[in-house]
Structure 1
Amino acid sequence: MQTHYFYALELPGKSKAILEETIHSMKEKMPFKTWVHPQDLHITLAFLGNAPEAKIKAANEVIRAALNNTPTFKLEVNHLGTFGRKDSPRIFWAGLEKSTDLKEVRKIVFSACSAAGFTLEARPFSPHITMARKWAGEEAFQAGQLDAVNPFKKELTFQAERVVLYKTHLGKSPKYEPITLFPLAKQD
């Protein structure tokens, strides 16, 4: 079985715990086939797929050097959304307030991966936290229900403190194993 790797912004433990409660409260209202394990919650920055060690090492070096001087920053989770068909979404996610800091960190990671020889998705960056996959409701999915069930009316903010290189273990739960950690610079 192929192993996949990806770089992601790590969510702090406290935020994962809040999102775990959120997921638990939404499961009955939102019948998705699989819900993401709380330890696996993250914001993907670059999906590498099956990656040779030399390329990962090259990307890691550039990322580590660039993120050393990049300060931690605040992010806010504030809305819900889906990817895929309107009536039967493939992905159910929590969205983030626009952040130039997040875009900058993503650009650093993306550039480092490209420079190391990775071919990455060309789609525009759409930062999100995947919470569930594959709509399993008997009725068609109604996008209007997203506002009704949105638990982020009171904001969920957290400090983005590090980027992580994850390795995927299909068939396991949690399925993402942190391989390399890249701390952002602490602010005074």
Structure 2
Amino acid sequence: MVRVFVGFFSTKTIQEQVERLKEQTDDFIKGKWVEPQNYHMTFQFIGEVPEEKLMDIIKGVQEVSQRNKPIRVKYRSLGVFPDMDKARVLWIGVSEGADSLRALAKDVSNTNRKYGIKSDGKPFYPHVTICRIKEYDKKKLKNLLKKYENYNFGEDSVDRISIIRSSLTSIGPIYSVLEEFYLNG
């Protein structure tokens, strides 16, 4: 069995900004910050699949890449999942390009479904996870989100989609790209 998802690794655009955020939140957010090389958007989390199903996923993602063009995105604002009362994930959102990313994620999911590959069923929300929160000061976190409500974290070009293996370890996930396709629709 292989644990996989379909996604896009962000470029270095947001790395410096996140480093500054970490410094500003030292006293009120305790958690595991995502390693910069692991910043990504997940278009479809598939989970554990038998290795023989990988060829179907590859076919599906290749089809999607041939139908879709690169998407220009602007990273803007901070948010948390699931909500302020139970914040577990701190993320950077997407303003420009969000609708196109939703359409791409839907295409990935629908195409993979055609090959018998199911999703986790969660709706796609364009974001890049930057921290898995363990403890936090609610008031200070709320102020941080307000401060960064319309903050520009930079731009990126989502020009490829990858099938990514996720190996869970005690030090965090290890991601490896199994296949990657440029968007050339």
- Corresponding residue for 2:142? 143
SS at match of 1:78: strand
1:79-103 deviations in Å (ceiling 9; x for gaps): 1100035234110000001533212
Normalised by the length of structure 1, the TM-score is 0.83
Equivalent residue, structure 2, for 1:89: 87
Cα distance in 2, alignment partners of residues 77 and 173 from structure 1: 24
Go from structure 1 to structure 2 and tell me whether the alpha carbon gap of 1:154 and 1:126 turns closer, same or farther (over 3 Å shift): closer
CA contact (8 A) 2:89 2:129 kept: yes
Could you list the per-position Cα deviations for residues 43-102 of structure 1 after superposition, in whole angstroms to 9, with x for gaps in the alignment? 101111111223221121122123123211201111110003523411000000153321
TM alignment of 1:1-188, pairs within 5 A: 3-12=2-11, 14-15=12-13, 19-30=14-25, 31-97=29-95, 99-137=98-136, 139-140=137-138, 142-148=141-147, 150=148, 153-154=151-152, 156-171=154-169, 172=171, 175-185=174-184
Identify if the C-alpha distance between structure 1 residues 152 and 20 changes in structure 2 by more than 3 Å, giving closer, same or farther: farther
Are the equivalent residues in 1 in contact too, given 2:2–2:51 (CA < 8 A)? no
Identity of aligned residues (%): 22
4+ runs of 1 displaced by more than 6 Å?
none
Cα offset, 1:174, TM superposition: 6.6
Moved more, 156-165 or 59-68: 59-68
Compare 102-111 and 36-45 and name the one that shifted more: 102-111
Q: Which amino acid aligns with 1:108?
A: D
* Structure 2 unmatched runs, 5+: none
Deviation track 1:116-143 (CA, whole Å, cap 9, x = no partner) reads: 2223132322111000002423x33542
Cα deviation, residue 105, structure 1: 1.4
TM-score of the superposition, structure 2-length normalised?
A: 0.85
Distance of 2:172 and 2:182 partners within structure 1: 25
* Structure 2 contact 98–126 (Cα < 8 Å) conserved: no
Structure 1 runs not aligned, ≥5 long: none
Q: Which has a greater percent of helix?
A: 2
Whether the 8 Å CA contact 2:30–2:133 is kept in 1: the answer is: yes
C-alpha deviation, 1:28, in angstroms:
3.2
What CA distance in whole angstroms lies between the structure 2 residues aligned with 1:152 and 1:176? 30
Matches of 1:29 and 1:88 in 2, distance apart? Answer: 21
Q: What is the distance in 1 between the residues matched to 2:79 and 2:45?
A: 20
Q: In proportion to residue count, which structure has more strand?
A: 2
Question: Which whole-Å deviations, capped at 9, do the CAs of 1:19-60 have from their partners, x for residues lacking one?
Answer: 221221112333231000111111101111111223221121
Pair 1:48–1:100, CA change in 2 (3 A): same
User: What CA RMSD, in Å, does the superposition of the two structures yield over aligned residues?
Assistant: 2.3
